[in-house]
Amino acid sequence: MLAAEFHASNQLIQAIDQLLLAGFTNLNHTHQTTLQRLAQVYRGTPLEAAMLSVATDLSNGVFQPASFGLLAVARAALQTAQYDQLALQLRAQLGRPTIDQPLPTTAALASTPPLLSSVQHWLMDLAVMGFARLEPAMINAFTPTLAQIQANPEYLRTAALLAGWMHELVLQPEQLPLFRWADLWTRAMLSTLSISATPPMQSVSGTLYPLGFEWRQHATLVSWVLYAVLEAEAAPQLATITQSAYKVAAIQDDQLWLLFPEANLLFESLSTGKALVLTNQQLLAAGQLIWDAAAATLGDKYDLLAVAERHFGLNAKQPLAQTQLAPEQRHPIHLAEPIVLSNYQLAQSGEGSSLSVGEQRFKLDLAAISGSEIDVDVLESAQRLFGLLRFDAGEWFVRPLATSLKKGKPLFIGLENGKVFKKAPKNNAVGILKERASRLLREKS
């Protein structure tokens, strides 16, 4: 059950989105009221004075990037509150501890670098015009800036969002996904307001038990997150490893793995069920390992589902806490609570599929598993899975990442495609295109 506050904040978010849809040169009376409501919501907060003046400026057609930056902050803060509320509710329900770790401080940029300033101006132009009236010329005009942002690793977050969104803007879908696009607009704007400096790291040694990969991708970027349990000197903890690589649209499916040579060892660990012994790997405070395959070797056998169940089962013997994202990054879409479900009842209906354990019912993320190694049939006979509880469109759902039909033989998302490490494909798009790149780009210079 979602709390009334969630619905109230969601209503306000959707009202803001109507402004982005219509465009700030076309505000009607309802839109003007939304700006006033927004200013009211922030009364008594540090943003009060700034929000009031932004609401007045935007109502009067005074457009500056800073005003739209603050509008993005206002929309994002509502989602931060939603994230906090949902996370608390879920942890309480699952009986998991919460960690109050010191939050990383993100310094606002004293002055905006020229490239990020171009991004802000373009995002402002889109908002002023309105998502409903975007012209291809306006979208294409951003291409050269995007290429420059992509070339600078410091701007990866901005580039990742904008490259994916540009691809959608160009395709002009029949039904404009307003909420999603407003999210992307907001996060892109936020990403120009601060740069997270390289966070402090510490060196760890210990044993890593990989539990599953989650893949994310758009036309020009692919990224995976490995969820794992890390047993270092201290108590066991949830650890994640992320790698991201630029790509071109023609690189797909199994070829994607070839962009990540260092993932080979993680894949081998998962597919053979052998834990990894880490020596001096770098670990960020929030539990993210900076993967270095050279500092890891295969170790003893482990039972993926047994390890996962001990820490993430519904009645886990040793429940693990998860560290919080920095406040400016919190958004319900980032909620990803590891979970193991056992002895479930799988029910399929016209509205989708769900897994029930006792009184608890979990909606199944069918889109994530259809055609995968762990489709509904496999899950039906496996009776146990490791996955993530995620939240979107007002509901929680389980996105399965791994299961097993035979003890000690893990099945996981990516298992089939990862076989590419053992046997390179005949038509290796990554190899062919990289070879082209090296020839043509050198020739040019």
Partner 1 sequence: MIPSSLNPPQVFQKSAKRDVKEVPFVELADGRLQGVISSGSDIQRVYVAYFEARSLNFYCSTNNNRPCGGLRGSPCNHLISLLGEGIKQFGIPGILKYLQSAHDPTTITTIGDLLKIAGHITHQAHGAIFSRFLGSLQLLELPLSALPLPEMDWFAGGA
By CB under 8 A, what part of segment 22-81 binds partner 1? none
Pick from 156, 277, 285, 376 the residue near partner 1 by CB under 8 A: 156
Q: CA 271, 277, 278, 279 torsion: positive or negative?
A: negative
378 counts as binding partner 1 under rule CB under 8 A: no
Pick from 317, 406, 407, 444 the residue near partner 1 by CB under 8 A: 444
Whole-angstrom distance, CA of residue 312 vs CA of residue 307: 9
CB of 34 to partner 1, least distance (A): 17
CB of 115 to partner 1, least distance (A): 15
Pick from 286, 296, 304, 389 the residue near partner 1 by CB under 8 A: 286
Q: CA 134, 138, 139, 140 torsion: positive or negative?
A: positive
CB of 306 to partner 1, least distance (A): 26
Pick from 164, 387, 400, 410 the residue near partner 1 by CB under 8 A: 164
246 counts as binding partner 1 under rule CB under 8 A: yes
373 counts as binding partner 1 under rule CB under 8 A: no
Name residues contacting partner 1, limited to 307-326 (CB under 8 A). Answer: 325
285 counts as binding partner 1 under rule CB under 8 A: no
CB of 48 to partner 1, least distance (A): 28
Q: Which is nearer to partner 1, 243 or 354 (CB)?
A: 243
301 counts as binding partner 1 under rule CB under 8 A: no
Q: Which is nearer to partner 1, 105 or 427 (CB)?
A: 427
Residue 262 DSSP class: T
Taking the alpha carbons at both ends of the chain, their separation in whole angstroms is 60
The contact mask relative to partner 1 for 189-228 (x = CB under 8 A, - = no) is --x---------------------xxxxxx-xxxxx----
Contact (CB, 8 A) for 145 and 118: yes
Pick from 77, 160, 239, 411 the residue near partner 1 by CB under 8 A: 160
**170: closest CA among 137, 148, 146?**
137
Rg (CA), the chain: 23
CB of 104 to partner 1, least distance (A): 11
Contact (CB, 8 A) for 47 and 74: yes
Q: Take residue 196 and report the two structure tokens written for it.
A: 């997270």
Residue 78: count other Cβ atoms within 10 Å of its Cβ: 20
Pick from 29, 317, 393, 423 the residue near partner 1 by CB under 8 A: 393
Residue 182 DSSP class: H
Angle at Cα 187 formed by Cα 134 and Cα 394, nearest 5°? 95
**218: closest CA among 166, 183, 155, 172?**
166
Name residues contacting partner 1, limited to 76-115 (CB under 8 A). Answer: none
333 counts as binding partner 1 under rule CB under 8 A: yes
Burial class (CB in 10 A: 0-12, 13-18, 19+), 316: middle
